[in-house]
């Protein structure tokens, strides 16, 4: 990361030791996360980086006007709820299936082995699930069924970079294409030999897209870092 960049990484409610939201709704999560960001001292609108479900939260905050930016970086977004995850929402059976798959060591090993089909990297996709609050994670999973139609973001006027893994899941590729369809000016970047976690699977390549020569400002020209500190907020 360039030395003149300040990185602010807020934890969502119910994650990273942060108390759960007052209500398990997208609106409440957005409101509480936005309040956390407002407590930061930002001299100018930051670059917003949203990955997976974080891309939706970033878009919602921009749509509602609770934050502003000149450049949005979206990484392997989740705009559409994957159909195969709906099995986890089938009442008590679904919740039990979720906990057996994600909360237990054996379940995570099996889920990671399945995810390795058709991808090159050996990154453990489920390693981060070991220490999370699974009650909160399951609530976020249920929240994903209420994801807004991406067309609502078509009037956002900002520079957009859409980054996705070459071997990513179908839902992420579909989401990337849907966002590109509403923003013709958006730049797409495919990360080779990466699946759903290009930041981890191809860190250097992805970092160049965010911070390096491929960083694009609102005017469409290369973003040359000045002596000022530039804030970037990954969600």
For each of the domains in the chain, give its residue range(s) and CATH number, in order of start.
Answer: 5-81+151-234 (3.40.50.1820), 83-142 (no CATH)
The per-residue pLDDT for 231 is: 60
**Inter-CA distances, 184 with 100, 154, 160, 189, 190, Å:** 42, 10, 10, 14, 17
**For the chain, which residues score pLDDT lower than 70?**
43, 112, 114-120, 213-233
pLDDT of the residue at 217: 40
Q: HSE (CB half, 13 Å, CA atoms) of 92?
A: 0
Helix axes 26-38, 53-64, angle to 10 degrees: 70
Q: Position of tokens 């000016």?
A: 185
Closest residue by Cα to residue 174 from 146, 209, 143, 150: 150
- What's residue 113's pLDDT? 72
Instruction: Report pLDDT for 230.
Output: 54
Per the confidence metrics, is the pTM higher than 0.85?
A: no
What pLDDT is attached to residue 115? 66
For position 50, what pLDDT does the model report?
A: 93
Q: What is the pLDDT of residue 226?
A: 29
């Amino acid at each position: 990361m360039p030395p003149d960049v300040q990185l602010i990484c807020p934890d969502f409610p119910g994650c990273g030791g942060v108390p759960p939201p007052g209500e398990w709704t997208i609106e409440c999560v957005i409101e509480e996360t936005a309040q956390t960001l407002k407590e930061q001292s930002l001299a100018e609108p930051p670059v917003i980086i949203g990955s997976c479900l974080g891309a939706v939260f970033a878009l919602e905050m921009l749509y509602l006007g609770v934050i502003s930016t000149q450049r949005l970086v979206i990484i392997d977004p989740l705009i559409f709820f994957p159909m195969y995850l709906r099995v986890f929402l089938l009442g008590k059976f679904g919740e039990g299936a979720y906990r057996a798959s994600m909360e237990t060591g054996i379940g995570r090993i099996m889920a990671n082995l399945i995810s390795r089909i058709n991808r090159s990297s050996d990154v453990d996709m489920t390693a981060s699930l070991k220490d999370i609050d699974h009650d909160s994670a399951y609530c976020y999973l249920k929240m994903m069924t209420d994801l807004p139609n991406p067309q609502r973001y078509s009037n956002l006027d900002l520079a957009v970079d859409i980054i996705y893994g070459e071997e990513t899941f179908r839902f992420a590729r579909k989401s990337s294409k849907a966002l590109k369809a509403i923003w013709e000016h958006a730049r797409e970047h495919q990360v080779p030999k990466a699946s759903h976690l290009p930041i981890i699977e191809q860190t250097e390549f992805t970092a160049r897209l965010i911070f390096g020569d491929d960083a694009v400002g609102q005017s469409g020209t290369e973003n040359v870092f000045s002596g000022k500190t530039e804030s970037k907020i990954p969600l």
